[in-house]
A and B are shown apart, each in its own frame.
Chain A
């Protein structure tokens, strides 16, 4: 096998602590090595020309570039090899800078290590095969599960690009929770005005297919060609879509599981969500005494919910301010742990509410005792450290967000994961906050954790633009490093099927072996590690290759 080795000095970076001449001498005498070249900067134009010319000149079959880490210049070197007429997957990069010259000052040791590393590269490279990136076509359409503000925002965006959009909502009307809000902070309009505007637009578009009172019942396929079945009042509908956005929102926390709050037993205890419906025409008597309780269903270890619901402080402040402003001589007191008025304009709103005469008391509330003349609130003022009992005519519970009730069902159908609080788990909490581990499947809005309206809109539209980016060309490339099955060795034990996170392995009932759906395979290698018969491997990463690589690293030089 004609192998060409290219050793970079990287200025002084490698040459300073690695004896390049000795490397050249050593490898020139090795079998299969056709040429050994060195250059101060392999990545510079003359360095690049050297590689390309040598491939042509000697008809090289493997190229070993010994320089910096593969994380740098990889595409450039791959293109170069391709231009030289060699399959780019026959290139091997060996890091003798980050992994060698930079790790120590001892030239002798570094040189020996460099020899081992390059040798391992040659051994591994000899197992390489020419690979091709495959192109598969994708369907330019999307399934959006959930017709709340997030799902509708996503649908509207995608529909405007001309894509076919299937919007599935289990209620009989679009709009989700925002539709129920009587006074949306900070824009201070009815939620309906926001949701109906978007809903009207969606209904008027030919490429939008809205299914209300409907739900997803089966799901399969792979990125670009997902197959879904939707149960609608008119019967089952089967669709094929390129990608999916899950936006099933949240469930409002149900305070009946905290019996000490008397919710459901005493009509004078209500939730912030119930207040929204009648918030514009409150019927409280003059001088009413109203208590607002923060963190109901949030930050509460006794019910196993540690998380903060993010929106309830603002909801509490808004409710308090409205009551204080509308009801003459009302006494409004808000009981909180920490006031989390972090949204834009929230802190000012909190201050203004205090200035309007709403009292904020840092407290922990133990129970509500219903008396006929009043509700007695019992708790402890955590600033003064003293217990109190205070009478109120109305107690408003600022309830938090519970995970959506269909979370498990959807997670099971789509094979996506829930987090420990039973919301959906994102691929990365910061940089991929609306992606899942599966390509083309996104989670938008509150189904991945509490968010306010603005954040939910951001999520919906951001995941939509990402999905559009994946589908807009109408095709996608599949990395060639996918699993393949040696049918003779496969015993049909199906352990790999269970290990596969991408759900790319399918069992062939007739032949009693497994098969890999290449379009779905992510090349993670979990199946490879699980297989007891060594029947499933990853293209480009054969076991024998890795064995040889290890031998090269440990044998005498």
Chain B
């Protein structure tokens, strides 16, 4: 087989799995990640259901494998901007944003970050803006590549041209390079796997739930960061300095919901909420925990048992989604019709966590536009159940959440199938 080269777009667990499978089959892989590190959404998670094992501990070895694999070229801060089909392959133009740190010199010692005048002043996206960072930073301790970067908007020198540049003085190996410019890279690939992943529904528009207006109402992914040892509170569940004792979780926020144009089920929120309830139960023994649901969809392996155990641990499930949340002197009050008892209940709580649903990644629309991929009514990449990774364009394959909600195990399997289909395709490509 002549040298084959596949572009994998996205460095989450889907892209990582597909990339590693292709590399093990002898294919050259270029992996594009728009952020500074691979790891995707999974690396933001504290634990994973239903086994409650640590997300980082299972994922970081895979990330390191990507970094060490000689068949995989990793381009971070990179996005495709133009894709044209030439013969059976694709000519791709990639925009690579500057890191302002020379990766071959940076040793990730962190002295630059300590010295940065903006230290502790910039909202940290990786922590859902709950924590603060410097302008020169590493997104999380296990990032791959293990290299710092400068955020061009936060850095005073890059954005305003004026800073004492303490980072440069602090950097021993002289890795900081402000002269770095945006690059446009052009390459030819024999096939493409699209794995941009997902974003989460922004519940601000659901006024009745008070997200963005009431203190104490947060989203599931924000709660995830609060639970995580690499998060802003080092894993201690604390909100505005206080440890909440009363928890109220609401499922199906932005899923199974015509109002938000999302009739679909997001497939993961039932279980991640049960997981959150378990984490709370484990860390705050006397916590009061309620979960509002429509149907509990514990469909995967070990999920039903996990759901039962959650109930047995003293977590109260209420069938019915709250109509209103209001502020009280002492916290929040949730009004909900309990469909099983038929009564309207008022439950006081310190914190409300919204299990927000899955949306296509914000870049999916543009990605599909430049590749002429068809999308479904919600914006996910269109596929069919018999050939689950095949798109309308021959030679472009899709995996993971990009084609619709999936849990981690299903994402991994879909990535394997995308790699298989991609292998079949490139083996029949004539090299040019």
B81 sits at the interface (CB 8 A): no
Q: Is there an interface contact between B412 and A430, defined as CB atoms closer than 8 Å?
A: yes
Name 25 interchain pairs, CB-CB below 8 A, sorted by A. Answer: A13-B109, A41-B107, A44-B173, A72-B146, A160-B427, A338-B297, A340-B297, A340-B298, A383-B319, A430-B48, A430-B51, A430-B412, A431-B17, A434-B413, A449-B301, A452-B385, A453-B386, A454-B388, A455-B413, A457-B386, A458-B413, A458-B414, A465-B25, A468-B25, A473-B26
**For the complex, is A483 an interface residue (Cβ under 8 Å from B)?**
no
Residue in B closest to A298 when the chains form the complex, CB atoms: B304
Please encode chain B, from 253 to 271, with 1 for each CB lying within 8 Å of some chain A CB and 0 for all others.
0001000000111010000
Chain A nearest CB from B220 CB (Å) reads 17
CA distance A340 to B265 in the complex (A): 9
B107 touches A457 (CB 8 A): no
Are A13 and B110 interface neighbours, CB within 8 A? yes
Query: Are B409 and A429 in touch, CB under 8 angstroms?
Result: yes
Chain B's closest residue to A449 (CB) is B301
Complex interface residues of chain B between 299 and 345 (CB less than 8 A to chain A): 299-305, 308, 319, 339-342
Q: Which 9 A-B pairs have the closest CB atoms?
A: A462-B416, A11-B109, A469-B24, A338-B295, A465-B420, A458-B413, A449-B301, A461-B420, A454-B385
Name the residue of chain A whose CB is nearest to the CB of B171.
A11
User: In the assembled complex, how far is the CB of residue A290 from the closest CB belonging to chain B, in whole angstroms?
Assistant: 22
- CB neighbours (8 Å) of A299 from chain B are 304
Does A486 sit at the interface, judged by CB under 8 A?
no
B21 within 8 A of A: yes
Residues on B with beta carbons closer than 8 Å to the beta carbon of A419: 301
A472 in contact with B409 (CB, 8 Å): no
Residues of B within 8 A of A468 (CB): 25, 423
Complex Cα–Cα for A41 and B412 (A): 37
CA distance A192 to B290 in the complex (A): 47
Q: Does B134 contact A (CB under 8 A)?
A: no
The answer on a CB contact under 8 Å between B107 and A44 is: yes
- Pair B385/A160 contact, Cβ less than 8 Å: no
Q: Once the chains bind, are B298 and A308 in contact (CB under 8 Å)? A: yes
Q: Quick one: which of A443-462 are within 8 Å of B by CB? A: 448-450, 452-455, 457-459, 461-462
In the bound complex, CA of A432 to CA of B51 (Å) = 14
Q: Is the CB of B412 within 8 A of A431?
A: yes
In the complex, what distance in Å separates the CA atom of A187 from the CA atom of B300?
A: 22
A462→B415 contact, CB < 8 A: yes
Q: Are B385 and A453 in contact (CB under 8 A)?
A: yes
- As a 0/1 sequence over residues 338 to 349 of chain A, the CB contacts with chain B under 8 angstroms (1 = contact) are 111110111110
| Extra inter-chain contacts (12) besides given A453-B386, A457-B388, A461-B420, CB under 8 Å | A12-B111, A41-B173, A44-B173, A194-B386, A308-B303, A346-B264, A384-B342, A431-B412, A450-B301, A457-B386, A462-B417, A469-B24
Tell yes or no: B179 within 8 A of A by CB: no
Interface residues on A, range: 35 or more
**A307 and B305 form a contact (CB under 8 A):** yes
Knowing A40-B172, A458-B413 are in contact, say whether A307-B267 is a contact too (CB < 8 A).
no
In the complex, the answer to whether B304 meets A307 with C-beta atoms within 8 Å is yes
Partner of B308, one of A43, A187, A306: A306
B275 at the interface (CB under 8 A from A): no
- Taken together as a complex, chains A and B put the C-alpha atoms of A176 and B319 apart, in Å, by 38
Let me know if A11 and B172 touch, CB within 8 A.
yes
The total of Cβ contacts below 8 Å across the A-B interface reads: 181
Does B204 make an interface contact (CB < 8 A)? no
Q: Are B21 and A340 in contact (CB under 8 A)?
A: no
* Chain B residues with CB below 8 A from A72, complex form: 146
Q: Are A341 and B265 in contact (CB under 8 A)?
A: yes
Cβ-defined contact, A429 with B51, below 8 A: yes
B299 touches A462 (CB 8 A): no
Whether a CB of chain A sits under 8 angstroms from the CB of B200 is no
Tell me the minimal C-beta distance from B153 to chain A in angstroms. Answer: 26
Interface: B419 (CB within 8 A): yes
CB contacts under 8 Å to A, within B72-124, are 104-105, 107, 109-111
Which residue of chain B has the shortest Cβ distance to A468 in the bound complex? Answer: B25
* Residues of A near any B CB (own CB < 8 A): 10-13, 40-41, 43-45, 71-72, 75, 157, 160-161, 186-187, 194, 299, 306-308, 310, 338-342, 344-348, 351, 382-385, 419, 423, 428-434, 448-450, 452-455, 457-459, 461-466, 468-470, 472-473
Instruction: Give bound CA distance, A310 to B301, whole Å.
Output: 9
Q: Is B386's CB under 8 angstroms from A11's CB?
A: no
Instruction: Tell me the nearest residue of chain B to A434, going by C-beta.
Output: B413
**Cβ–Cβ contact A455 & B410, under 8 A:** yes
Contact present for B304 and A464 (CB under 8 Å): no
The total of chain B residues at the interface (CB under 8 A) is 71
B304 touches A465 (CB 8 A): no
B299 touches A457 (CB 8 A): no
Interface membership of B287, Cβ < 8 A: no
The interface residues of chain B lying within 8 Å CB-to-CB of A383 are 319, 339-340, 342
Main secondary structure of the interface of B (DSSP, over half): loop
Contact (A465, B408) CB under 8 Å given A384-B342, A470-B24: no
Would you call B128 an interface residue if the criterion is a C-beta within 8 Å of the partner chain's C-beta atoms?
Answer: no
- Residues from chain A with Cβ under 8 Å of B299 in the complex: 308, 310, 340, 342, 450
Alpha-carbon separation in the docked complex, A466 to B412 (Å): 12
In terms of DSSP, what is the predominant structure of the interface of chain A?
Answer: loop
Query: Of the candidates B26, B107, B297, B298, which one forms a contact with A11 in the assembled complex, judged by CB atoms under 8 Å apart?
Result: B107
Q: How far is the CA of A450 from the CA of B297 in the complex (A)?
A: 14
- B414 contacts across to A, CB distance below 8 A: 458, 462
A385-B304 in contact (CB<8A): no
In whole angstroms, how far apart are the Cα atoms of A279 and B341 in the complex? 38
The residues in B between 395 and 412 inclusive whose CB is less than 8 angstroms from any CB of A are 403-405, 407-410, 412
Indicate if B64 sits at the interface (CB-CB under 8 A): yes
Looking at A11, A452, A466, A468, which has the most chain B CB atoms within 10 Å of its CB? A11
CA distance A466 to B416 in the complex (A): 8
Interface presence of B213 (CB below 8 A): no
Known: A44-B107, A457-B386, A464-B420. A430 touches B58 (CB 8 A): yes
Assess the B420–A157 pair: CB atoms within 8 A.
Answer: yes
Contact B264 A348 (CB under 8 A): yes
Residues of B within 8 A of A13 (CB): 109-110
Q: Report B-chain residues with C-beta under 8 Å of the C-beta of A464.
A: 420
Shortest C-beta distance, B375 to chain A (Å), equals: 13
Rounded to whole Å, the gap between the CB of A305 and the closest CB of chain B is 9
Task: Report the bound CA distance from A453 to B413 in whole Å.
Answer: 13
Chain B: CB-nearest residue to A430: B408
Q: How far is the CB of B141 from chain A (nearest CB, A)?
A: 10
Q: How far is the CA of A454 from the CA of B319 in the complex (A)?
A: 30
Q: How many Å from the CB of B259 to the closest CB on chain A?
A: 14
Q: Is the CB of B296 within 8 A of A338?
A: yes
> Is the C-beta of B421 less than 8 angstroms from some C-beta in chain A?
yes
Q: How far is the CB of B21 from chain A (nearest CB, A)?
A: 5
Q: Which residues of B contact A382 (CB under 8 A)?
A: 340
Contact of A465 among B21, B305, B308, B341 (CB under 8 A): B21
Bound-state Cα–Cα, A466 to B339, Å: 47
Closest to B256 in A: A347
Contact in complex: A431, B408 (CB < 8 Å): yes
Q: Are B412 and A385 in contact (CB under 8 A)?
A: no
In the assembled complex, the CB of B377 is this many whole angstroms from the nearest CB of chain A, namely: 9
Residues of A within 8 Å of B296, CB to CB, are 338
User: In the bound complex, how far is the Cα of B256 from the Cα of A391, in angstroms?
Assistant: 32
Q: In the complex the two chains form, what is the Cα distance from A134 to B305 in whole Å?
A: 44
Interface string of B41-67 (1 = CB under 8 A from A): 000000010110000001100101000
Q: Which of B62, B298, B340, B409 has the most CB of A within 10 A?
A: B409
- Judged by a CB distance under 8 angstroms, whether B177 is at the interface is no
Contacts of B409 in A (CB 8 A): 429-430, 433
For A12, the chain B residues whose CB sits under 8 A away are 109-111
Most A CB within 10 A of own CB, among B300, B339, B413, B420: B420
